[in-house]
Amino acid sequence: MAVLHGTMKVKDNGHLLIGGVDVVEVARESEFPVYVLDEELLRKNMREYRKTFEKYYPNSMVHYASKALMTLAMCKIVESEGLGIDVVSGGELYTAIKAGFPMDKVVMHGNNKSVNEIKMGIENGVKIVIDNFYEIELVDKITKELNKSVDVLLRIKPGIHADTHHYVSTGHEDSKFGFIIKEDTAKKAIKQVVEKELINFKGIHMHIGSQIFNVTGYEKSIEIMADFIKELKEENIIVKEFDLGGGLGVIYTQEDDPMSITDFVKLLIEYVKREFEKRELELPKLMVEPGRSIVGEAGTTVYQVGSITEVPGIRKYIAINGGMGDNIRPALYGSKYDAVIANRMNGKEEELVTVAGKCCETGDIILKDIKLNEPKSGDVLAVFTTGAYNYTMASNYNRLPIPGVMLVNNGQKEWIVKPQSYEDILRNDIIPERLK
């Protein structure tokens, strides 16, 4: 049996409840899948990050990495829990602005920010994480044009390999993100920044990857960064802020065994204190940017089972009313998930099947070789841990509408993103006059 997350419970009739809402009904009321979001679990995770820092390292800030799941309502929840937001594009920043999110709690990332994105960031007073030399000049030019200063961090690659999928490993030297420490590259960059009239150098940022279970990557990186910060200090450049990025893993399948948020934060704090004290460095303001570990397990996608195709002697395909359009991760990274037949939670999971999407791609497989409780057409399949990087990576491939996101809490269900309609899909289509 798949691990139940957050407020998940099984009703007497064998239906899966999330936030007190019967998700079998939710799935059956919709032609397409629905992303269900457990508000209580979401808030609990945010609080766990914030409370642990408050207790052990008050000079700190937790920025939710909004690329995991960004909507107007998410901004409101994040704000009410006292976290900041990290954005990686103009679109994410625009969402935060429209939600009325406090801009002094926003950090902007990206390895190729456009002139407009940088302008938008500076005009709104967000902190910018500078990624490369090209951007130093761009930010300098724009601050002068706008005659407005900006606080910045610089993204530095510690040069280590995080223990995760290479597509989501970002701290090694060959990564496209940030400055390397070697050959004084990062130091040169910081010296350039310090010279700029309207750019305030605040500190450094690292982000070594995602879905990480083993903290040695963080430990090593913090050591390397502390050495680097010491070197800077010897040249009178003070790092006041140190951003450790995100990356803590979550439970997708029973094989995943992440540490708790509390333990993770405590270890990071321990490493920072130890390495900074060893070098007689003043403790910086510490920041983290968790995405997946806040929202991942709080999301569940509910589907209806349609056709079932048996390939004798090979496998049985269970087809669902969604697929790679609402969850590209299996096709993109070979990601694994757990799932249940949500209308028959009380039985045993003993039939080995493969769950396929409805897109015209052989690779549109959501779960390969998973044991389910005798799936039948008309059943409801709930795929767990789809809160992060599912809705935000969704596409209209095959012109399937992007599913809605439903917030559930205490028996209440509310859309925070409406399901797309066919009209929504056509919204930007144009027939030029000569083709009419």
Ligand X SMILES: *Cc1c(COP(=O)(O)O)cnc(C)c1O
- By the criterion CB under 6 A, which residues form the site for ligand X? 65, 67-68, 86, 109, 207, 210, 245-247, 289-293, 388
> Is 329 known as a binding-site position?
yes
Minimum distance, C-beta of residue 258 to ligand X, in the bound complex (Å)? 11
Chain length of the chain: 436
> Is 209 known as a binding-site position?
no
207 closest CA partner among 249, 166, 250, 172: 172
Residues 6+ apart with CB under 8 A from 59: 283, 284, 285, 286
Minimum distance, C-beta of residue 400 to ligand X, in the bound complex (Å)? 25
> Is 330 known as a binding-site position?
no
> Is 389 known as a binding-site position?
yes
Q: Backbone dihedral region of 280: left (phi > 0), alpha (psi from -120 to 50 degrees) or beta?
A: left
**Comparison of 84 and 290: residue with beta carbon closer to ligand X:** 290
**Comparison of 17 and 388: residue with beta carbon closer to ligand X:** 388
Catalytic residues: 360
CB-CB contact of 287 with 241 (8 Å): yes
Minimum distance, C-beta of residue 245 to ligand X, in the bound complex (Å)? 4
> Is 292 known as a binding-site position?
yes
Residue 289: count of CB within 10 angstroms of its CB: 27
Provide the pairing of β-strand 405-409 with 34-38. parallel
Tokens representing 150 are 């900006």
> Is 135 known as a binding-site position?
no
In 3-state terms the chain splits into helix, strand, coil percentages (rounded to 5) of 35, 25, 40
Greatest alpha-carbon pair distance for the chain in Å reads 73
**Comparison of 168 and 425: residue with beta carbon closer to ligand X:** 168
**Comparison of 139 and 388: residue with beta carbon closer to ligand X:** 388
Minimum distance, C-beta of residue 212 to ligand X, in the bound complex (Å)? 7
Q: By three-state DSSP, how is residue 381 classified?
A: strand
- Burial class for 212, CB neighbours closer than 10 Å (0-12, 13-18, 19+): buried
Minimum distance, C-beta of residue 424 to ligand X, in the bound complex (Å)? 27
**Comparison of 32 and 389: residue with beta carbon closer to ligand X:** 389
Residue stretches of the annotated binding site: 247, 289-292, 329, 333, 361, 389
Residue stretches of the annotated binding site for substrate: 292, 329, 333, 361, 389
Residue stretches of the annotated binding site for pyridoxal 5'-phosphate: 247, 289-292, 389
